[in-house]
Structure 1
Amino acid sequence: MQSPTRTRAGASLLAAGAAAAALLAGMLSPGVSHAASQENCRPDGLYATPGVDVPYCSVYDTEGREKMGADHQRRVIGYFTGWRTGKNGQPAYLASDIPWDKVTHINYAFGHIDSSHKLSVGADGEKNAATGMTWPGVTGAEMDPALPYKGHFNLLNKFKKQHPDVKTLISVGGWAETGGYFDDNGVRVNSGGFYSMATNADGSVNQAGINTFADSAVAFIKKYGFNGVDIDYEYPTSMKDAGHPADFPVSNARRGGLNKGYAALMKTLREKLDRAGAADGKHYMLTVAAPSSGYLLRGMETFQVQKYLDYVNIMSYDLHGAWNEYVGPNASLFDDGKDAELASANVYGSAQYGGIGYLNTDWAYHYFRGSMPAGRINIGLPYYTRGHKNVQGGTDGLWGKAAAASCPAGSGLTKCGDGAVGIDNLWHDKDDNGKESPAGSNPMWHAKNLEKGIVGDYVTQYGFPADTRLTGTYVRKYDSTLVAPWLWNSEKKVFLSTEDEQSVAAKADYVVDRGIGGTMVWELAGDYDWNAAKGQYEIGDTLTTSMYEKFKSAAPYGAKKSNSPLPTDAVDIAVDFTEFKLGDSNYPITPKLKITNNTSATLPGGTEFQFDYATAAPANASDQSGFGTKVIKSDHTGGNTGGLKGDFHRVSLKLPAWQSLAPGGTVELSFNYYLPVSTPSNWTVNIAGTAYALAGDLGRGTKLVEPGSGSSPSPSPSEPGTPGACTAPAWNATSEYGGGVTVSHASHQWKSKWWTKGEEPGRTGEWGVWQDLGAC
C-alpha cells in the first residue's frame, strides 16, 4: 500500500431577497426558488449550486457554523490510514483505536483514481483492507453484520453509530496516489491519476474525465456511508517537478492547465454533491488537503477553488526535510527570521518580499484567511518526525546543513539532504527496489522513546535486533519563537523535528485565539501514550486529547470573511484574476485583473473599488495600468518573526477618469505582487456615493440590487433571434435538461454537457454546463 508519510510529503437574507441575491452571484437563475431556511445556514462565501435547495442546515447552524456536538467547538480531524492493518507484523491501528469522543472528523486515506477515472479502493476480497479484511479475535474489531461489506469501512460505520456527531470523509489521492495507484498486488500503476483525469495532454480541461470521477465519488460515499469527499491532489501547480517524481512525465507536460482542471474538478464535485445531498436530505461535504508552501502555492494562481469547499485542511508540515540540505522544523508555527533555506534565497534581505518568511503554519493560515473565514480553515499537525544526520553547524542542529553525497534512487533530485536512517527512520519509505529512503521519519511514540533512551519492544517488528542499543543521547530542544521541539543527538549529529504536548498546546491556543476552525492531523497512528507496565511509549491519544481539552469550551469559530461590516446590498460586477505566468516565470506575480460590469448602469470614470488581500504577502501591491492601485490600510507591516499581527491589507483602485464602464463592458489592469495570495475578497464598489458589496463574494446576508435602485433586478428577457434561424427549443429556466441536449437562447444555440436546471446559457462560464454552439 502507500508509504506511511510520503503520501503527504512536500509539500463561510431575507426570504424575499434570497433568490434575487443569488441570481447573478451565480447561485440561482430566474424561476428557481431556494428555501430561505437553508440559505440561512450556508457558510459565508460557500458556492451554492444553481437550482438546488442544498440542505445546509443538516450540517450547519443559522450562523453558518458546523454542528459537531456540544463539546466540539473546533474541529479535530484525523487521517486514518488503510495500511496499518497489523497483517505485516507491525503494530495495527484500527477504527477501534480511534479516540472517537475526541475527534470530529475522520478522513480515510486513501481512495484512488483508477484507470477509468473512477474512485476506487481496489477489488473486493478478503485482502482488501477497506472492504474485505477482518481481524478475528481483536477486541473492538468485530464486524457489524448489518453491513454488506467488511474491512475498515465496516468498522468506521459501526463506531459512527455510537458517535453520530463524528463525520467521515473518503480522502482521494495522497503523495503516492495522485498520479497513479497501487494495484491489488501493491505495485504502483502510473495511470496519470488526477493529472490525466482532470487535464488533457494539451492542457485543456478533461470535463468528461471529471464527470466520470465525480459521478463515481457520489456513488462511492452513498455506498459506504461517508459524509463527503476530501481531495488530496499533490499538486495542481504550475511549478515544475512538483509532486511524486514518478508522475513527472504526465504532470510536467500538463503544468499550464493543471489549475484550470483543478478548478473544474472542484466545481463539478461541488455541484454533483449538492444535487445528491438535496435528493438525500443531507449536505455532503467537499474538502481539500492544500499545500502550505509559498513555492507550491505560487503556481496555483490565487487558489480560486476555495468557494467550492466546506473547509480547507492546510498541510502545514513537511516544511523542512531531507529533500534538501537545510535543517529545520517539520512544522513550525511561526517564522524566526533565521530560516536557513529562506536566507539562502535572500527572502529576508529583499524589500519586495517584505522580510516575510513563508515556511511556517502562521504564514499558510494567513494565506488562506485572505479569501476564507477563519472557521473554514484548519491547520495541519504532523504526528511524525522528519530529520537529518551528519548535521553541520546551526544551534543544536537547528538551521544547520546536512548535504547528502547522493540522492535516493527515484527521488527525482540531483541535490538533497542527508536524511536520518535506521533506528532514527522507523516509518521510512522504501524505493522501488525495497531500499530504505533516508528521511528521519518516525511515529511520535517512537521519538518519545528515543528521547527517554528507551528501545521499545516493537523494534523487532521493524527489522531491528532485540538487543538493539541506542548510540548517543537524544536531548529534547524547544524554540519558543518557532513553537517547535526537536531531538538533538550530538554524538550522531542527528536532528529529528518532533511535536509534543508543549507545541500542540501552543498550536491549539493559536487556533482558539484566532477563531480558526480547528486542526487536522496526519496521522492518528503517530500519537502516543505511556505504557507503565512495559516502560515504553506506544500508540495512544495524548496529543489528540490535548487539543480536545483546549477546544471543548472554546468560543465559536470565526464565521465571517471580513473583519469589518460590509454593505448588505450587492451588485453584479465580476472580478477575475487571469493570465498567470507559469512556473519560474511567475515572479513577480503579474496576472490580469478583469472587471466586468453585469449591471444595467454605466460606471463612470473614477469609480472606486476596494478589496482585501492577505498579510501573507507584503503591502506593496500595485498596477501598471493607470488605475492607481494602492494599499490604503494594513493590519501588518514588516517581517513576520513571531507571527503576522493581522489578516488583511485594504486596497483601493479606481477606473481611470477617462474610462467609463458600460453595461456588459470589461476593463483589465495588470496587477502586481510578490508573494502568493489567495483570491482577494471583501470587495466593495462606490457608485454615485453608495457603497455596494460584490455578488461574487457569496456573502451571507446580502441581496442583489441594481445600482441606485435599492431593489432587486428583474430577469432580462431572452433576446429573440432571427425568425426561423434558431431551430432548437428555447431554454426554460424551470426545465430539467440531461447531458447532450441542445437549446436556443439569446440568439445562440447551446448544448448541455451534463444534467442541469436553472443555469442560464451564456452565464455559466467557459467551464460551465452549457457549450456555445454559435449564433443562430
Structure 2
Amino acid sequence: MADHLTSKRQFYAKNNNYFFASSLFTGMISFFISTPTTANSVEITQAESGNIPDQTMTVPYDFKVSKYTGKRDHFKLFYDWKWDEQDPFKEYAGFRPGDYHIYLAERTGLNWKNEIQYKKIRLVKPEDRNWSATKEHHQPFNVTHSGKIVGLYMGEWGVWERAYTADYIAANNITHLFYSFVGICDYERPNATENNGLDIQFGKDSRNKAVMRASCGQGLAPDQHDNLKGDLVKIGVTKKQQDFEISPYDYLAYPHLLDSIKAMKKQFPHLKGMLSIGGWTLSDPFYDMVKTPERQQTFIQSIIDTINAYPGVFDGVDLDWEFPGGSGLSPNLTAGYVEDRENFTVFVKALRHALTTEFGSSFQLTAALSASPAKLAAVDLNALKDDFTFINLMTYDLYGAWGKDPAHHTGVYAKPIAGAYNVEGNATDELGNIILYNGQPVSLTKVMRNYSAEGAVKTVQQLYPDFPMAKLTIGAASYSRGWQYVKTKAQHAKLYWHGKAQQWSNSNSKGLGNKGTFEFGVSDFRDVYDHFMQEDTQFLYYDRQAESAYIWQPHTNLNNDNYHYAHVEAFDSPRSVIAKGKLIKKYGLGGIFAWEAQTDNGLILNAMNAAVCNPLQDGGYYQFSQAYAGTVTSQVIASDNKGNPTKVRETLHGSEVFQFDGKTFCDTTSPGNRPPQVNITGPTQAKANTTVTLDASQSTDPDGDQLSFEWKIPSGIKVDNTQLNKISFTTPAVQQDTIFKFGLSVSDGQTNVQRLWSLQVTTTSDPGKDCNKDPNAKNYPAWQPNKTYQSGTKVSYNFLVWQSNWWNSGNEPGKTEAWKLLSKVILSWHASKAYPADSIIHHQGTRYKARWWTKGEEPGKASVWQSLGKHQCFIPNANGF
C-alpha cells in the first residue's frame, strides 16, 4: 500500500498564505549544560539572504528513497487464507479482512521495484507488543501526572510495507491515539470530487482511488495486479455508502487496527481513541459537505453509526480538513475562506450537539488546524470555544521540498532574516480574496518573518482572545524535511536558511528533496537518528535561536570559493521538543502531540512526556545528552523603521554536548503568572419570565491559583450573589425583544480577565391573541427538545406546524433551518436568525421582505428590508424563512 506521510503536508510556502505575529526569540534555555568550543561570526542583510543563482543538478539513475525501517520489531498484515471448498465467496479470498492476520515479521531485503520484502515468523503475541513502552528507545512514563495531553497520530498504511501496526504503539506513554484516516464518500452527485486528491498525490494510475471507492461500496476493489474484481458489498465487507458518509480508506487494515485499539484501551484505561477524518489526501469532500444542512446531517449520522458499530474503540472525533479556505492538495474546491468559515462553524456546532446527544458531553471533539494564520482566519475559534475539546495546531511542515527557500520546518521560533522573506504582496486565499487579519490585509513579508510554532500560538491569541489557551496543543514532527542540494555563498556555509535549494533531475524524475526514507524530501526520525545522531555526528547542527536541529552534509566535490553545496534536513529532535515544552509552559497550553507513530524510535515521544513534566514510571526523571558538530546563535544588529530586521549577525559555534535533566527542567522553568482561562456557558436567547443560568465554573487557572468571580449585572435583572462562579435569575417581562449584557471579571489574585455575555430576552405573547397561530397545529404531536426526528416528521410548536428538513435533535423550530414552517403565517423578526433573500417577516406591526441574505439587521432601520405595509396574520404561500 502507498505511504501517506504527505497527508499532513501543508504546502504553505507554495501558496504564500501565512502570517504569525510572534516576537523574535534569541535566547537559550539557560539550565541546559553545554560545552561550546570556538565560534565564527558573519553578518548578512535581508537583501543578501537567499540571493543565489539557480542551476540544475544531475543525480544518478538509481537515486531513490532508502526504505529504511531500523532494527525495531516488525509487525505486518499478511494474507493468510486457507482454501475452503465450502466457502461461498472463495473467489473473493484476499478481499476480506478476515483473510489477513498480523504477524511478527522479518525483513528480507528489497525487490527490483525497491519494495521491502518480509517473511512471516509467527502470529503476534501479547508479549511482542510495545504497549508498555519498553522497546527500541521507548521508556515508560507516568503519562497522566501532568494532566497535559500527549497525543499521537497513527497512520493505517503502516501495516503494509513499513510493517508497523498498532502493536508497536507505546500506549502507556500517550493520552490520545488518533486513528488516521477515514475518508468521506463522494461519487454519485453531480460534480462529485471523487476524492481526486488521491490521484493528485499518487498518480492517476495508482490503486489508491479505486480502493477508496470500493470501501464506499461504489465500485470494485483492485486485486494485487490492480484488476478491479472485488465486490465488497456482495461479500459483506461494506455497504453502499451515500455521498458524504464516512468510510475507512483501507478496508483490510481497518478492523484489525480497531481491534488492537480496543484491547490497548482495555489494558490502559486512561487512553482515548480518536477517529480522525480527512487528512491531506482525503479532504476534498469537506468543502461541499459543509455547504448544506442535509449533507452535514448525512455526514454526522454516519459518524455516529461508525462509532456505534465499534463499541469500546472511540472516545472522540478529530476533524482533519486540510483546509477551510483552500490551498490544500486539490485546487479550486473552496468557496472562499469567509464562506468556508461560516459553514464550518455551523457544521461543528451541529456535530457537537449530535455527539453530546448520542454519547454524552464527555465525548471529545477535536480538530487538527494549520499553523498558518491564513488558514486560522478560516476557522472561528471564538465561536467554537465551547464546542471543541481541544485543537491540535500542526506546527510543522512550515518549509519543505515543494519550495526553493529552505528553513526550519518545525522551528519553535522564526529566523530574524532568511531567504524566504523576499516576497511581495498580500496574503490571499485560493480564490484570490485578500485575507484580513483583525480586519487588515497582511503582507507576505510580515507573514514569512514570523513563521514558527510560537507564531501560531500568538496568532490564535490575537485572532481569538476568547479561546482558552488550555485548549491548544502544539505539534512535534518525528520526521525531517530536506533538500538534496542547498546552495549558499561560501561565507554562509552551514547557515542554510540564507541559501537556495537547487533542482535535481535524472532520466526518471526531478525535484528538490533529499533522498528521504519513503518519499523524496522526508526522512523518518529513526532514519535521521541512526545515521546522523549516534556515533558519527559530524553533520549534525542545532539552531539555538530557532530551537531546531538540522543536517548539513556537504557535497565537497561541488564546493568552490564562491558557493558551497550540501544535503540539508531540518527536523524536531528531543532537544527542540523540550523547547516546545517551554512554550507550553509559557502560554499555558494543553499539551503536545506528534505526527506520527511509525517514524519515531521512541525518543521524540519520550521528550514529549518530559516536556510536559511527566516523570518516568519508576518515579525518576528523564535524562539525555546529545553531541553536535556545531550550534548557531542569531543577533539582530539593524532594523528598518517598522522594526523589521534588516541585518543579522550569525555566530557558528563549534562542537557542543547538550545535556538534559528532567527534574531541573521542571523545577527551574516555571513561567511567570499566567492569566485565568475563562469559560462561560449558558443560553444567548431566552423568553421573558424564564429561569436562566450562566455558568463559569469550568474556568481554570494554568498555575492552579484559586479564582474569584465578580459579575456585573445589567439593569432589570436581579441576582442575589454576584461573586459566585454560577448565577441564576428570572428574565424580566419586556415589551419587545431586548438584549441584556452581563460582565464577568475573573481574578487569580494577580491578573483580572474580563468577559462579556449577551442574552436576548424575547417577548411572551398570549397565544389566544397572537395571530401567529395555526388551528391545524393541534393535529400534530408537540415538539420535544430531547427527541430525535427523522426527515419529513411533522410536529406542532408555538401553535404552528413544522416539518423536519433532515435528521435532527434539540434544534428548536423557528430558530434553525432544521425545520420548515408549514403553517402559512408570517413570523416575527429575530436578530439571531439568518434570512435568505425574499424571506418575509413582521416587525413592530409592519411586514418586510429581505432584498438579500441578512442577519442581525433590524427591519425599519436597515436597507436590506423592503416594507410591505401593515402586518397581516395569514398570507397564502408565505415564506416564514
Per the TM superposition, whether the score is higher than 0.5 is yes
Residue 320 of structure 2 corresponds to residue 222 of structure 1: no
Report the equivalent of 1:344.
423
Q: Structure 1 residues 487-496 or 74-83, which shifts more?
A: 487-496
Report the equivalent of 1:493.
566
Report the equivalent of 2:485.
390
- Paired with 1:374 and 1:149, the residues of 2 have a C-alpha distance of 34
Mark the CA change 1:149 to 1:302 in structure 2 (over 3 Å): closer, same or farther. Answer: closer
Displacement, 1:297? Answer: 2.7
Mark the CA change 1:123 to 1:178 in structure 2 (over 3 Å): closer, same or farther. Answer: closer
Aligned CA RMSD, in angstroms, stands at: 4.7
User: Match for 1:482 among 546, 567, 576?
Assistant: 546
Displacement, 1:401? Answer: 4.1
* Deviation string, structure 1 residues 307-355 (Cα, Å, up to 9, x no partner): 321110011111111222211011111123224334534899x997796
Displacement, 1:152? Answer: 1.0
Secondary structure, counterpart of 2:592 in structure 1:
strand
Q: Structure 1 residues 330-339 or 74-83, which shifts more?
A: 330-339
User: Match for 1:372 among 456, 459, 467?
Assistant: 467
Map of 1:151-190 to 2, 5 A cutoff? Answer: 151-179=256-284
User: Match for 1:75 among 149, 153, 167?
Assistant: 149
Residue 340 of structure 2 corresponds to residue 258 of structure 1: yes
Residue 675 of structure 2 corresponds to residue 563 of structure 1: yes
Residue 295 of structure 2 corresponds to residue 243 of structure 1: no
- Paired with 2:785 and 2:164, the residues of 1 have a C-alpha distance of 51
Secondary structure, counterpart of 2:4 in structure 1:
coil
Mark the CA change 1:318 to 1:570 in structure 2 (over 3 Å): closer, same or farther. Answer: same
Letter in structure 2 aligned against 1:83: W
Mark the CA change 1:567 to 1:159 in structure 2 (over 3 Å): closer, same or farther. Answer: closer
Map of 1:354-369 to 2, 5 A cutoff? Answer: 357-369=449-461
Report the equivalent of 1:728.
777
Secondary structure, counterpart of 1:390 in structure 2:
strand
- Paired with 1:695 and 1:408, the residues of 2 have a C-alpha distance of 63
User: Match for 1:333 among 412, 418, 436?
Assistant: 412
Letter in structure 2 aligned against 1:77: G
User: Match for 2:513 among 410, 413, 420?
Assistant: 420
Secondary structure, counterpart of 2:476 in structure 1:
strand
Secondary structure, counterpart of 2:157 in structure 1:
coil
Report the equivalent of 1:442.
523
- Paired with 2:754 and 2:574, the residues of 1 have a C-alpha distance of 47
Displacement, 1:419? Answer: 2.2
Report the equivalent of 1:53.
none
Mark the CA change 1:683 to 1:449 in structure 2 (over 3 Å): closer, same or farther. Answer: farther
Report the equivalent of 1:590.
none
Report the equivalent of 1:544.
605
Contact 1:728 1:742 in 2 (8 A): no
Secondary structure, counterpart of 1:274 in structure 2:
helix
- Paired with 2:412 and 2:737, the residues of 1 have a C-alpha distance of 46
Residue 392 of structure 2 corresponds to residue 313 of structure 1: yes
Report the equivalent of 1:654.
none
Map of 1:441-520 to 2, 5 A cutoff? Answer: 441-452=522-533, 475-491=539-555, 492-520=565-593
Displacement, 1:4? Answer: 3.1
Letter in structure 1 aligned against 2:789: G
Mark the CA change 1:259 to 1:277 in structure 2 (over 3 Å): closer, same or farther. Answer: same
- Paired with 2:442 and 2:318, the residues of 1 have a C-alpha distance of 36
Report the equivalent of 1:647.
none
Q: Number of matched residues?
A: 502
Report the equivalent of 1:9.
9
Contact 2:783 2:796 in 1 (8 A): no
Mark the CA change 1:149 to 1:506 in structure 2 (over 3 Å): closer, same or farther. Answer: closer
- Paired with 2:591 and 2:677, the residues of 1 have a C-alpha distance of 24
- Paired with 2:441 and 2:298, the residues of 1 have a C-alpha distance of 47
Displacement, 1:427? Answer: 2.5
- Paired with 1:400 and 1:77, the residues of 2 have a C-alpha distance of 34
User: Match for 2:357 among 271, 275, 278?
Assistant: 275
Map of 1:51-200 to 2, 5 A cutoff? Answer: 70-85=144-159, 87-88=160-161, 91-115=162-186, 122=215, 150-179=255-284, 193-198=285-290
* Deviation string, structure 1 residues 439-462 (Cα, Å, up to 9, x no partner): x2010111123315999xxxxxxx
Displacement, 1:727? Answer: 3.0
Secondary structure, counterpart of 2:297 in structure 1:
helix
- Paired with 2:183 and 2:742, the residues of 1 have a C-alpha distance of 36
Contact 1:374 1:517 in 2 (8 A): yes
- Paired with 1:522 and 1:121, the residues of 2 have a C-alpha distance of 27
Contact 1:95 1:156 in 2 (8 A): yes
Report the equivalent of 2:793.
741
Secondary structure, counterpart of 1:388 in structure 2:
strand
Displacement, 1:508? Answer: 1.8
* Deviation string, structure 1 residues 130-185 (Cα, Å, up to 9, x no partner): x99xxxxxxxxxxxxxxx99511111111211101101111111101112xxxxxx
Task: List alignment gaps of at least 5 residues for structure 1.
Answer: 12-67, 133-147, 180-192, 199-204, 412-416, 429-437, 456-472, 528-539, 574-596, 601-660, 668-680, 686-690, 697-703, 707-712
User: Match for 2:599 among 522, 526, 530?
Assistant: 526
Task: List alignment gaps of at least 5 residues for structure 2.
Answer: 12-141, 189-194, 196-211, 225-229, 231-235, 238-252, 428-439, 556-564, 616-665, 690-733, 746-752, 827-873, 875-881
Contact 1:443 1:526 in 2 (8 A): yes
Displacement, 1:693? Answer: 4.8
Secondary structure, counterpart of 2:172 in structure 1:
coil
Letter in structure 2 aligned against 1:5: L
- Paired with 1:292 and 1:408, the residues of 2 have a C-alpha distance of 35
- Paired with 2:287 and 2:441, the residues of 1 have a C-alpha distance of 37
- Paired with 1:95 and 1:567, the residues of 2 have a C-alpha distance of 36
Mark the CA change 1:362 to 1:683 in structure 2 (over 3 Å): closer, same or farther. Answer: farther
Mark the CA change 1:395 to 1:758 in structure 2 (over 3 Å): closer, same or farther. Answer: same
Report the TM-score, using the length of structure 1 for normalisation: 0.56
Specify which structure has the higher proportion of strand. Answer: 2
* Deviation string, structure 1 residues 241-287 (Cα, Å, up to 9, x no partner): x111xx325x1467664333322331222111111114xxx732111
Percentage of pairs with the same residue: 20
Mark the CA change 1:716 to 1:756 in structure 2 (over 3 Å): closer, same or farther. Answer: farther
Contact 1:380 1:520 in 2 (8 A): yes
Report the TM-score, using the length of structure 2 for normalisation: 0.50
Contact 1:378 1:519 in 2 (8 A): yes
Secondary structure, counterpart of 1:307 in structure 2:
coil
Secondary structure, counterpart of 2:777 in structure 1:
coil
Displacement, 1:736? Answer: 3.3
Secondary structure, counterpart of 1:112 in structure 2:
strand
Displacement, 1:426? Answer: 1.4
Displacement, 1:501? Answer: 1.5
Letter in structure 1 aligned against 2:321: Y
